[in-house]
Amino acid sequence: MNAAHSADPAELDRSQLHRTAAALVAPGKGVLAADESVATITQRLEALGVESTAETRRRYRELLLGAPRIDSHVSGVILYDETLRQAATDGTPFPELLASRGILAGIKVDTGAKPLAGAPGETVTEGLDGLRERIAEYRDLGASFAKWRAVLSIGPGRPSRPCVVANAHALARYAALCQEGGLVPIVEPEVLMDGDHDLDRCGRVTTTVLRAVFDQLHGAGVDLRAIVLKPSMVLPGSGAEPAEVAAVADATLRCLRDTVPASVPGIAFLSGGQGSRLATEHLHAIASLGPHPWAVTFSYGRALQDDALRTWRGEPANVGTARSVLLRRVRCSGAAALGSYSPAMEAA
């Protein structure tokens, strides 16, 4: 077949998705998750005594998105609906600001974890209704990737099989819709740290969850080369004895090698409430055990933002320092993704 005949629009779209997925996990780069819902960011702002209004949220997000030099370590930023529609103080729409810096704009498209009928204490993530139309609108607004977070908890009898299957099924339907509409789906099944379970239990649960997720992705015809997986690391519960960094890296990789096909271009971990340094050390240890079949990197929310947010505290005079704090975190995380982080970088 000659070149003219092979230029099928569907194929071109597909290869664009492959390029976007690869760009999100490019060497030494990762994703800044800044897609907190209004309710979640309001809690975080109010905890620091900052009033949460559309304008304070806009100013905080401008601090993040406009931080000098983060583009060397950040491939993409996940935004919430409100933020995708906001603009910098000079009027530049946020997606345009990111594009001008070579950073991809992403959008959280799920509408949250809701109680799952028949499974007390468990949730299923919702947001499939009208998703095809929202994806089209988000594309028009400048998004090139999306995210959907499923939440699984560990406890007596949890996660239940119905909870695992319902969440995996929803993730697969979301991923198929994203690819049809031209967005790369970040597939995020989070196994929460809450509880007093040990590392092994978390490993077994995470393995079960990821198997179910890939079963459903296959069943839905999702192109694995055009997704990014965003899992939690394998960790002991927050109420249990902490594990050594090396043990976490080992358990996490054992689980991922057993479950994640090599056709997936990259794995971008969430931080899940680990402190920022620990999240960096864990990623460094995981990357150092490579080479791996897929890229490994970060898609952290709290582990990248917490220090910067505390430094800012809503004060315009603190924007510069807060941006330096953010830059240090993304630089350390980018180095960790290459296995070249050292604690000395924290002082830089």
Give the footprint of ligand 13P on this chain (CB under 6 A). Answer: 33, 149, 188, 270-272, 300-303
Report the alpha-carbon distance of residue 48 to residue 50 in Å, rounded. 6
For residue 171, give the nearest of 151, 194, 143, 141 by alpha carbon: 151
Kind of pairing, strands 123-125 and 113-115?
antiparallel
Residue 188 or 250 with smaller CB distance to ligand 13P: 188
Least separation in angstroms between residue 269's CB and ligand 13P is: 8
Report the alpha-carbon distance of residue 26 to residue 73 in Å, rounded. 9
Residue 271 or 311 with smaller CB distance to ligand 13P: 271
Question: Nearest residue by C-beta to ligand 13P?
Answer: 301
Residue 61 or 302 with smaller CB distance to ligand 13P: 302
Is residue 230 among the annotated active site residues?
yes
For residue 166, give every residue at least 6 positions away whose Cβ sits within 8 Å of its Cβ, in sequence order, or none: 116, 124
Task: State CA 335 to chain mean position distance.
Answer: 18
Is residue 114 among the annotated active site residues?
no
Which residue is catalytic, options 230, 241, 281, 346? 230
**Which region holds residue 204: left if phi is over 0, alpha if psi is between -120 and 50, else beta?**
alpha
Least separation in angstroms between residue 306's CB and ligand 13P is: 8
Report the alpha-carbon distance of residue 95 to residue 76 in Å, rounded. 11
Least separation in angstroms between residue 304's CB and ligand 13P is: 7
Least separation in angstroms between residue 188's CB and ligand 13P is: 6
Report the alpha-carbon distance of residue 215 to residue 283 in Å, rounded. 26
Least separation in angstroms between residue 190's CB and ligand 13P is: 6
Which residue is catalytic, options 36, 62, 122, 188? 188
Neighbour count for residue 20 (Cβ, 10 Å): 21
Active site residues: 188, 230
